[in-house]
Amino acid sequence: MTELRKVAIVGSARIPFARGNSAYADETNLSMLGTVLAGLVDKFGLKGQKIDEVMGGAVIAHSRDFNLVREASLDAGLSPRTPGTNMQIACGTSLQAALTLGAKIASGEIDSGIAAGSDSISDSPIVFGNKFQHRMIDLSRARSAGEKLGVFKGFSLGELTPVAPSVNEPRTGLSMGQHCELMAREWGISRKAQDELAVASHRNAAKAYDEGFHDDLLVPCAGLVRDNNVRADTNLDKMSTLKPAFDKSSGQGTLTAGNSTPLTDGASAVLLASEDWARERGLPVLAYLTTGRVAGNDFAHGEGLLMAPTIAVSEMLARHGIGFEDIDFFELHEAFAAQVLCTLKAWNDPAYCRDVLGREQVLGTIDPAKINIKGSSIAYGHPFAATGARILGITAKLLASEPGKRALISVCTAGGQGVAALVESAS
């Protein structure tokens, strides 16, 4: 059996994330992904070079984006011999892409790869209902004028009413925020605790900017040079004035626009490679992507929609015989502050660890000082498919200045799934 190779994280790039319908109102998934890949190409001198595979995708995509990753790779100036693979696992898309490419690099199938993601709320596809859609298909097939006129027999203006974009869960009809409200209620997560985590996210992100941490990570796009959602001046008093966003009538709602991620546009990418490939090109190795895990749960029958990362992390750690005490940094995607807090509580709950995770002992508590120390999605925003690569890129840069350390990444996704990964320092 061939010995597995180390998977080097060479570096990353992303465009600044923007609140929906703001700076990127005129951009598309393709234009944003092309911009970020071009930035990565420029950063590492890859113009005209062949990368063994670029893999990524978008969650909210038009039919025209059927070849999104390949087209963006060509727009970015990579060699036309670079293949592009579209994939999608909701909010875990670009992290799953990194894990997939990492497995190929480790096995020797490829030597280099770029994991990427792009999402635009501002350019959401607007579609017609099935009846009018079928009329348009029939119209494209009609040949004579009579056949074309016949397509509209029985037509009513109501057929032109567009179907509004929705990310509600098909099996429950509930939005992610509504599901998370149920989780917060089940786990007894207070509004104050959620607001405190949200404030910490903004402050940590603002501090990272002040320290220059993001200077070499961001690629300007459409005149934007930094994330437009980070609020250095936010505080608990301001947070406390916001009204519930998902449960507006029961009087028990705790999730607000402040302690939830905003609808966001953006794109990000991470360059992965074998050590030899990076060394031959004089490129750095910031950190190593060592392993990962994907899990799902039965959210349609009572398990929390966003609790699957608890399973993914538990299985990943068990497989490698390590625990929280072996982790130095925790990058927990903040879809909602409540999601992070529910996850932390579950990992320290004996019944949950026994019945759901199959563990005799709890995973334990995590020191808050180790969690999202550069801020996370509540502050930066959450362009669904781009978030995993953003987190992986930040994690690799963080570890580059922290020798002998290990970081854990956890991302919850729609559909009751979770993606987890471990990253280790290169020195």
Residues designated as active site: 91, 382, 412
The alpha carbon of 426 is separated from its chain's Cα centroid by a whole number of angstroms, namely 24
The helix-helix angle for 191-210 and 337-347 (nearest 10°) equals 110
Residue-by-residue DSSP string for 253-302: ---BSSSBPPBEEEEEEEEEE-HHHHHHTT----EEEEEEEEEE--GGGT
Residue-by-residue DSSP string for 300-360: GGTS-TT-HHHHHHHHHHHHHT--GGG-SEEEE--SBHHHHHHHHHHHT-HHHHHHTS--S
Q: Are the C-beta atoms of residues 286 and 400 closer than 8 Å to each other? A: yes
Helices (H) then strands (E): counts for the chain: 14, 12
Using the structure block, give the residue that is written with the tokens 């990579």: 78
The alpha carbon of 102 is separated from its chain's Cα centroid by a whole number of angstroms, namely 17
Per DSSP, the three-state class of 123 is coil
CB atoms inside a 10 Å sphere around CB 406: 18
Residue 132 one-letter amino acid: F
- CB neighbour list of residue 288: distance below 8 Å, 6 or more residues apart: 6, 7, 8, 9, 423, 424, 425, 426
The alpha carbon of 37 is separated from its chain's Cα centroid by a whole number of angstroms, namely 17
Residue 53 per-residue DSSP state: -
Per DSSP, the three-state class of 108 is coil
